[in-house]
Amino acid sequence: MKLAIVGKGGSGKTTTAGVIARLLARQGLDVVALDCDANPNLGISLGLGPEETERLVGIRQALDDGEEEHAPSADELLTRFGAPAPDGVRLAVVTRIDRPNPG
Ligand SMILES: Nc1ncnc2c1ncn2[C@@H]1O[C@H](COP(=O)(O)OP(=O)(O)OP(=O)(O)O)[C@@H](O)[C@H]1O
Ligand SMILES: [Mg+2]
């Protein structure tokens, strides 16, 4: 099962995604949470804490800076760019946009 949470700014996407991920993991499902927000903070909602959330963003940005190699498989992506979160959820950060161009 793949779930995508989308919607208007400030409508509760991150909160909803975090709650659903944790509830499914508590039911025993193997949950991978991918934070695709341009301003990734799903780690906070998942209970990972601000420092670990920021560390994941930094690892992802290292890829853009040529300091990290792309992962050849989903498992390795989670190992290199992800972290275990409470309730057994695994989180990986997909991107962050620090300086968006106009348009
Ligand atoms: N069901 C809810 N009832 C009341 N407040 C809520 C609910 N869900 C989220 N909130 C609050 O609304 C605010 C925005 O929530 P959240 O950050 O999850 O939205 P978002 O859609 O991810 O925002 P953004 O577009 O900035 O990423 C937060 O302060 C959150 O605590
Ligand atoms: Mg959000």
Kindly list the domain boundaries of the chain, sorted by start residue. Answer: 13-93
pLDDT digits (tens, 9 = 90+) for 34-70: 999 888 899 999 999 999 999 998 888 888 888 888 8
Closest residue (by CA) to atom 4 of ligand 1? Answer: 12
- Tell me the pTM: 0.88
How many angstroms separate the alpha carbon of residue 4 from the centre of ligand 1? 16
Q: Which residues line ligand 1 (CB under 6 A)?
A: 7, 9-15, 37
Q: Checking phi first, is residue 73 left (phi over 0); if not, alpha (psi -120 to 50) or beta?
A: beta
C-alpha 64 – ligand 1 centre gap (Å): 29
What is the pLDDT at residue 77? 86
Beta bridge partners, 92, equal 34, 82
Q: pLDDT (tens digit, 9 = 90+) per residue, 6-18? A: 999 999 999 999 9
Query: Ligand 1 mean position to 13 CA, how many Å?
Result: 6
**From start to end of 1-101, where are the E strands?**
32-35, 82-84, 90-93
